[in-house]
Amino acid sequence: MKKSRFIVLLLLFCLQPGFLAAQRAEAIRKDVLNPCLDKVLVVAHRGNWSIAPENSLAAIDSAIRMKVDIVEIDIRKTKDGQLVLMHDDTVDRTTNGTGKVKDKTLAEIKQLRLKDKDGRLTEHTVPTLEEALLAAKGQIMVNLDKAYSIFDDVYVILKKTDTADLVIMKGAQPVETVKREFGSYLDKVIYMPVVTIDEEKSMKVVEDYMEQLHPVAFELCYRNVASPVPARMERRLAGKSLIWYNTLWASLAGGHDDEAARKDPDASYGYLINKLGARILQTDSPAFMLDYLRSKGWHD
């Protein structure tokens, strides 16, 4: 009887939302670490900003509810050394304030209200990195942009919130620079190189990384539709490292972007997946992309 009661209690615990969320985050991380992944992971650029202000807690929450796999956020440092979510170096575009983030204290920034995608003021405020990580914890992975130069400060927050395993860091620096400047963190967080692959010389950049660090993923960008390099990258990285493409605008993925996908998703998203080996796609249209991927069996 006691054993049966214990099993029932254990099952009830495992069905709690917090436990299930943590299980999902762990599953996403395993997917990111799998070079032979047979599905496509979706990244919401600055959160789901079509529903809530970009880089807001609400935008992160919306991405989580949609079952997005990774949320991309941008980090800036305030005058008093606090880390907040903000893409631009000023608050002008996204809030009702003016001036540079670095010239304002956290208290001053917290007084501002965020604008939605149409420029209308909302009740949402600028979150700190700590608030964002706690909102994401156990539920979604987080790609940190604009964080490379301030990662010492970022890592303090990662340790405090116990979220280092959630994070994907990235940078466009050569491998030797990354080893010198970021080396102490390479065994603590996932690091993803960003490589522009319009030119042949980009192959050497990737080869250097593969030989010295063997990253779990590469973020690849290219403008030239006729370039043979993307196909070569697919052959080189297949079964070794995941390929991440951005569909935010045409110049990042050879014209295979969100706008083009609205007309012909097979020729846009499908091309990146089937021809160029993409297994991670960052989008400004997460709902549309998820619907497409699910229709093709590429996402749960």
Contacts of 30 (CB under 8 A, 6+ apart): none
Low-confidence ranges of the chain (pLDDT < 50): 8-13, 15
Please check whether residue 233 is in contact with residue 243, taking contact to mean a CB–CB distance below 8 angstroms.
yes
Bridge partners of 194? 219
Give the distance, in angstroms, between the CA of residue 137 and the centroid of all CA atoms in the same chain. Answer: 14
pLDDT at res. 254: 98
Q: Rounded CA gap, 282 and 179, in Å?
A: 26
Q: Rounded CA gap, 112 and 98, in Å?
A: 10
Cα–Cα distances (Å) from 199 to 114, 206, 224, 238, in that order, read 39, 12, 9, 20
Question: To the nearest whole number, what is the mean pLDDT of the chain?
Answer: 95
129 within some domain:
no
234 within some domain:
yes
Q: Are strands 83-85 and 70-77 parallel, antiparallel or unpaired?
A: antiparallel
275 within some domain:
yes
pLDDT at res. 1: 53
Bridge partners of 221? 196
pLDDT at res. 23: 83
Instruction: Please choose, from the candidates 252, 244, 296, the residue with its C-alpha nearest in 3D space to the C-alpha of residue 70.
Output: 244
100 within some domain:
no
Bridge partners of 128? 84
What is the tally of structural domains in the chain?
Answer: 1
131 within some domain:
no
Residue 215, domain extent: 24-74+139-296
Q: CATH number of the domain at 278, please.
A: 3.20.20.190
DSSP notation for 92-139? TTTBS--SBGGGS-HHHHHT--BB-TTS-B-S--PPBHHHHHHHHTTT
Cα–Cα distances (Å) from 86 to 69, 77, 105, 136, 161, in that order, read 21, 9, 14, 17, 20
Instruction: Please choose, from the candidates 240, 199, 189, the residue with its C-alpha nearest in 3D space to the C-alpha of residue 218.
Output: 240
2 within some domain:
no
64 within some domain:
yes
Q: Rounded CA gap, 250 and 256, in Å?
A: 6
90 within some domain:
no
Q: What are phi and psi for residue 95, nearest 5 degrees?
A: -135, 180
pLDDT at res. 10: 43
Predicted confidence (pLDDT) per residue in 185-213, tens digit: 999 999 999 999 998 899 999 999 999 99
